[in-house]
A and B are shown apart, each in its own frame.
Chain A
């Protein structure tokens, strides 16, 4: 295992990064030209009413004081109220997080399962026709604009073929007694297919290429040659030895991919009107709903930073050379 000291170091780094991101965010939102309350204040408000509102949001105080109030509030999970929904940002963000996580994890699990198997297979069949055809195709999927792929799938499978619904998480009129009832319904799954497929098609390239190149490296290792000299079955040689060793960095990359995907979800959630954090961020920014935009941004940043940390920990856990040092 990692020593306590290393874990402490990583945690300190994590806190530092989160603090820095929060500070950058504060600067962006407070130093921008224009009155941050512009969207909130009705033009008919009197001067006096405006001042009361400014005071309510602490905007009448000096900048440094606002900064410390902001940090103090953040520490308590207090993200302010959404201008638009007139409800606490924290509740709103927490409400949307599951949708984003379900979309992210379902697509990434599919992408990784496919990418790992296909990558291992391509490495095993190296130098063949399959490789010459597959690699350019995989590179092309990495070059796809995700939202365009989403549009294409939407146009084909929803509007032209009518197989899947066009957006959202549930059909109009459907009501569910609980979140669990919603997430386990076939209606929800039908809504999930196209956005998840979009993200999966885009994401499978990373594990595939990574797995393939790791496999090629590992297959040149002595222990793989020895496994063959031992007369072990091809399955044992390729899967138990080569793939198991090649898998290590790929599994680690999963955590990083989660962090990456969550920020990239912004466009795909928008295309499919998927009520997640990313779409909320876009809507909030468009509507100048600063507290909500800030909250959604911070929540995304937290996931990104946590996933980077998780990647490090996973690696040290899965590699006996580190975990049994």
Chain B
């Protein structure tokens, strides 16, 4: 009985199984809006070469070989104007979506992966493994997040990978704790007991019986981590510890702040990158909220 169920599950297409088990929130209008924003954002990031009007790092000159700096939006064909060093703001904005996507996705995957693994191991095996992992989580909760990322990013090579790594080293804690709690309830379920009695190995039980059931939770925490990662990278870049080689929205804001864009009231320079960050992060919130409603439905009244 048990084995036949196993083969049945395995015979289904893995990809379909994966998407089914995610339970994407397509019923909630806000979540749908979030998904649309995400789709648009991914599309822009992938086709940045086509959409951007200039090289985002190129210093632009007028035909008379004068620096094309501080142009306001629309002036001389610069859609959003230029920076005080003569770089095209619109193109920077478009390319910024690329690094945001890269950072958001890698951080989300790392956070979800580490957190899920920790949660599974701690919850399933318990005992010493659980104690060690949960004390580690305590420590991660005691580490001031942003200062930690700053220090690590500053001392390692300033690159977006180190920023992502530093974030993942701390942010797994929430996912880990939640997944562990979920695993603790799952491991007492009859089918897990049955698998244990029938002699399945621990690893097989963890990955074929328990992991699929915590996948939606991992995904939820992954979507939350996307927003966090993009916000954190922006802060790090703003403080000057970001990757100098990469155009990101945080970098643009740092550039604007350092170049006195505020006192010159160059709103066209620093407002758009902020709005882009908000849009992407809020889209993530909407999706995760719609998700939560599916995962933890509350009776209306």
A147-B238 contact given A13-B138, A152-B274, A155-B270, CB 8 Å threshold: yes
A130–B273 Cα distance when bound, in Å, is 29
B240 within 8 A of A: yes
A263-B142 contact given A140-B278, A159-B265, CB 8 Å threshold: no
A177 within 8 A of B: no
The residue among B143, B234, B286 with the most chain A CB atoms within 10 A of its own CB is B143
A148 within 8 A of B: yes
Contact with B285, one of A21, A139, A166, A266 (Cβ below 8 angstroms): A139
Chain A residues with CB below 8 A from B156, complex form: 32
Q: How far is the CB of B39 from chain A (nearest CB, A)?
A: 18
In the complex, chain A residues 274-318 whose Cβ is within 8 Å of any chain B Cβ:
278, 281-282, 285-286, 293, 296-297, 300-301, 304-305, 308
Chain A residues with CB below 8 A from B40, complex form: none
In the complex, chain B residues 243-275 whose Cβ is within 8 Å of any chain A Cβ:
250, 253, 256-257, 262-263, 265, 267, 270-271, 273-274
> Which A-chain residue is minimally distant from B231 (CB atoms)?
A145
A286-B240 contact given A28-B152, A32-B155, A143-B285, CB 8 Å threshold: yes
A166–B152 Cα distance when bound, in Å, is 30
**Cβ A147 vs Cβ B235 within 8 A:** yes
A24 within 8 A of B: yes
A145-B240 contact given A16-B138, A263-B146, CB 8 Å threshold: no
A267-B146 contact given A140-B282, A152-B274, A220-B301, CB 8 Å threshold: yes
A18–B284 Cα distance when bound, in Å, is 33
A296–B146 Cα distance when bound, in Å, is 13
Chain B residues with CB below 8 A from A158, complex form: 262
The residue among B145, B239, B256 with the most chain A CB atoms within 10 A of its own CB is B239
A266-B151 contact given A143-B278, A148-B274, A148-B277, CB 8 Å threshold: no
A297-B146 contact given A20-B139, A139-B286, CB 8 Å threshold: no
A144–B234 Cα distance when bound, in Å, is 11
> Which B-chain residue is minimally distant from A264 (CB atoms)?
B146
Chain A residues with CB below 8 A from B250, complex form: 145
Contact with B142, one of A147, A266, A304 (Cβ below 8 angstroms): A304
A29–B265 Cα distance when bound, in Å, is 40
> Which A-chain residue is minimally distant from B282 (CB atoms)?
A143
> Which A-chain residue is minimally distant from B153 (CB atoms)?
A285
**Cβ B262 vs Cβ A151 within 8 A:** yes
A305-B147 contact given A147-B235, A148-B270, A270-B239, CB 8 Å threshold: no
**Cβ A144 vs Cβ B278 within 8 A:** yes
Q: How far is the CB of A202 from chain B (nearest CB, A)?
A: 11
**Cβ A20 vs Cβ B142 within 8 A:** yes
Q: How far is the CB of A33 from chain B (nearest CB, A)?
A: 8
In the complex, chain A residues 209-224 whose Cβ is within 8 Å of any chain B Cβ:
220
Chain A residues with CB below 8 A from B79, complex form: none
**Cβ B235 vs Cβ A145 within 8 A:** yes
Chain A residues with CB below 8 A from B135, complex form: 16
A193–B297 Cα distance when bound, in Å, is 41
A307–B278 Cα distance when bound, in Å, is 29
Q: How far is the CB of A305 from chain B (nearest CB, A)?
A: 5
A173 within 8 A of B: no
Chain A residues with CB below 8 A from B151, complex form: 25, 28, 285, 293, 297
B227 within 8 A of A: yes
A35–B203 Cα distance when bound, in Å, is 45
Chain A residues with CB below 8 A from B239, complex form: 266-267, 270, 282
A241 within 8 A of B: no
**Cβ A262 vs Cβ B274 within 8 A:** no
**Cβ A24 vs Cβ B143 within 8 A:** yes
Q: Mark B122-165, 1 if CB is under 8 A from A, else 0.
A: 00000000000001001101111111101110111000000000
**Cβ B285 vs Cβ A281 within 8 A:** no
The residue among B141, B241, B289 with the most chain A CB atoms within 10 A of its own CB is B141
A262–B250 Cα distance when bound, in Å, is 21
Chain B residues with CB below 8 A from A281, complex form: 147, 150
Q: How far is the CB of B200 from chain A (nearest CB, A)?
A: 36
Chain A residues with CB below 8 A from B154, complex form: 285-286
Q: How far is the CB of B100 from chain A (nearest CB, A)?
A: 12
**Cβ A21 vs Cβ B142 within 8 A:** yes
The residue among A154, A285, A300 with the most chain B CB atoms within 10 A of its own CB is A285
Interface residues of B (CB under 8 A from A): 30, 135, 138-139, 141-148, 150-152, 154-156, 227, 231, 234-235, 238-241, 250, 253, 256-257, 262-263, 265, 267, 270-271, 273-274, 277-278, 281-282, 284-286, 289, 301
**Known pairs A145-B250, A148-B277, A151-B274 / 11 extra A-B pairs, C-beta < 8 Å:** A20-B139, A28-B155, A29-B155, A144-B278, A146-B235, A160-B265, A267-B235, A270-B239, A282-B239, A286-B240, A297-B144
27 A-B residue pairs with CB within 8 Å: A16-B135, A16-B138, A16-B139, A17-B138, A18-B142, A20-B139, A21-B139, A28-B155, A29-B155, A32-B155, A143-B231, A143-B277, A145-B235, A148-B234, A148-B270, A152-B274, A154-B262, A155-B262, A155-B270, A159-B263, A263-B147, A270-B239, A296-B147, A301-B142, A301-B144, A304-B142, A304-B144
Closest 6 CB pairs of A and B: A263-B144, A143-B281, A148-B274, A17-B142, A143-B282, A20-B139
